[in-house]
């Protein structure tokens, strides 16, 4: 098992990759005005979390993090399906999916 861990990139490399992806997703979430781009940014952030779960699972030698990553992927797929359905409904009503145009959704 230790030979397998020594042959790949270290934990720091995986955490750096996940941190970079999360920062890119956060930047996209804060700067984009299109709902589809915001949904893609959220997906990128969720994938960064999954990379962290799998990396810690691999370097600690248990499979629990990989199981959590699979559940997280399933939840993200459901979130994207609901999000796309909402985006389609908004587009049908407004003929656009820009965030600043959606003032009717306020409570």
pLDDT of 35 reads 83
| List of the chain residues with pLDDT < 50 | none
Determine the pLDDT at residue 21: 94
Bridge partners, residue 98, by sequence: 34
Q: Please report the pLDDT score of residue 5 as a whole number.
A: 54
pLDDT in tens, 76-107: 899 889 988 888 887 887 777 777 666 665 55
DSSP string, the chain: -HHHHHHS--HHHHHHHHHHHHHHHHHHHHH--BHHHHHHHHHHHHHHHHHHHHHHHHHHT-SHHHHHHHHHHHHHHHHHHHHHHHHHHHHHHHS--BGGG--TT--
Task: Return the axis-axis angle of helices 64-94 and 35-60, rounded to nearest 10°.
Answer: 180
Check residue 3 and give its pLDDT.
Answer: 57
To the nearest whole number, what is the mean pLDDT of the chain?
84
Residue 23: its pLDDT value, please?
95
Residue 45 pLDDT: 93
Q: Which domains can be identified in the chain, with CATH numbers?
A: 2-101 (1.10.287.3510)
At residue 51, the pLDDT reads: 92
Looking at residue 90, what is its pLDDT?
A: 79
Residues pairing with 31 in the sheet: none
């Amino acid at each position: 098992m230790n030979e397998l861990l020594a042959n790949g990139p270290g934990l720091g490399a995986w955490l750096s990759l996940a941190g970079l992806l999360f920062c890119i997703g956060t930047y996209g979430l804060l700067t984009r005005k299109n709902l589809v781009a915001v949904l893609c940014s959220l997906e990128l952030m969720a994938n960064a979390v999954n990379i962290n779960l799998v990396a810690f699972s691999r370097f600690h030698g248990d499979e629990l993090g990989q199981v959590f990553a699979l559940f997280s992927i399933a939840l993200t797929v459901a979130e994207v399906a609901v999000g796309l359905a909402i985006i389609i409904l908004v587009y049908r009503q407004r003929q656009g999916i820009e965030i600043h145009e959606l003032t009717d959704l306020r409570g």
